[in-house]
Amino acid sequence: MPEQIAGRLRRAYPDDMRKHLSPETIYVGLYVLPRGALRSERLAALRQARKARRPRARDREQRGQIPHMTPIAARPAEVESRTVPGHWEGALLKGARNRSAVGTLMERPTRLVILAKMNGTDATSARQGFTKQLRHVPAILRKTLTYDRGKEMAEHERLSTRLAIRVFFADPHCPWQRGTNENSNGLLGQYLPKGIDLSGYTQRELNALADRLNTRPRKCLNVATPLEVYAYVRHHSPVALGT
C-alpha cells in the first residue's frame, strides 16, 4: 500500500529527503500517470483494487466544523509505536444513501474490532453508540480514540467526559493516519457490502460479525488472533506489548 511504501522509505532513508515520497504522490503515480495494461497491473496490486480514486470532495457536504478538536499531532508518541494497548481508531461505516450506519472501533496494538449499532448517522447517535460499546472496555484500555473529521463526532467532548478517553482528530484527507481502522473496514466489506441498509442489524448480529474478524489469525500478531492478544493484555496490567 502507498502508506506503507512511504513509511518504509522514511525508515530506510531518514536523512535523505530526496528519497521520501508522500502517500498522495504514490497514489497519483498509480492512478494518473500509467495507461493501458501497465495501469491495470498496478491497480490490481492495491489491496482495494479500485479503478479510480474516490474524489476528495465526496464527503464535503457531510463534513463540518467540529468544536475544540485536538489534532493528531498532539497525540502521545506511544500511540504511534503500537506498544501500549488502549489506543483506538473509530469511524462510521455508512449504509445505502448514507441513511444508516454502523460504528467501527479498532484497538491499534491488538487489532481488536468492536462494532456498534447506531440509531442514525448524526452526532448524538454516534456518541450514544460508541459510548455503549466502549463502556464495556476496562478504563486502563480506554486511553485514546483517533477519528476523522466527520461531523458525526461533533459531540466528542461529551464522549470524552463520559468515558475518560482522549479524542484526537486525523488531518484532512489522511486516511493512513487511521490505517488500522481503514484496513478493518475493508475486511468488513465481506459481511457488510456497500449499498445495503445497515439499520436492520442488531447488536448481537454485529457482535457475531466482529467475532469473525477477531478470531482470524493475523501475521502482524505473530499468527495470534486479535481476541487472544486482547485477552492477554486485558489480564496483564500494567500493560505494554512485548514486555
Task: State whether 114 and 215 are in the same domain.
Answer: yes
Task: State whether 50 and 22 are in the same domain.
Answer: yes
For residue 13, the model assigns a pLDDT of 75
What is the mean pLDDT, run by run of 10 residues, along the chain of 243 residues?
69 69 62 52 54 48 73 94 94 93 96 97 97 96 95 96 96 86 83 92 97 94 96 75 50
For residue 243, the model assigns a pLDDT of 46
For residue 133, the model assigns a pLDDT of 97
Q: In 10 A of CB 169, how many CB atoms?
A: 21
For residue 140, the model assigns a pLDDT of 93
What is the CATH classification number for the domain harbouring 105?
A: 3.30.420.10
pLDDT digits (tens, 9 = 90+) for 31-47: 554 555 555 565 565 54
Task: State whether 87 and 32 are in the same domain.
Answer: no
Task: State whether 126 and 210 are in the same domain.
Answer: yes
For residue 214, the model assigns a pLDDT of 96
In angstroms, what CA-CA distances link 191 with 93, 95, 202, 221?
12, 12, 14, 23
Task: State whether 15 and 92 are in the same domain.
Answer: no
Task: State whether 33 and 132 are in the same domain.
Answer: no
In angstroms, what CA-CA distances link 15 with 10, 18, 19, 143?
8, 9, 9, 33
* Exposure letters 21-57 (e unless 16+ CB within 10 A, then b): eebbebbeebbeeeeeeeeeeebeeeeeeeeeeeeee
> What share of residues in the chain are helix, strand, coil (percent, to 5)?
45, 15, 40
Task: State whether 49 and 157 are in the same domain.
Answer: no
Q: Which domain holds residue 44?
A: 2-54
AA identity, residue 118 = M
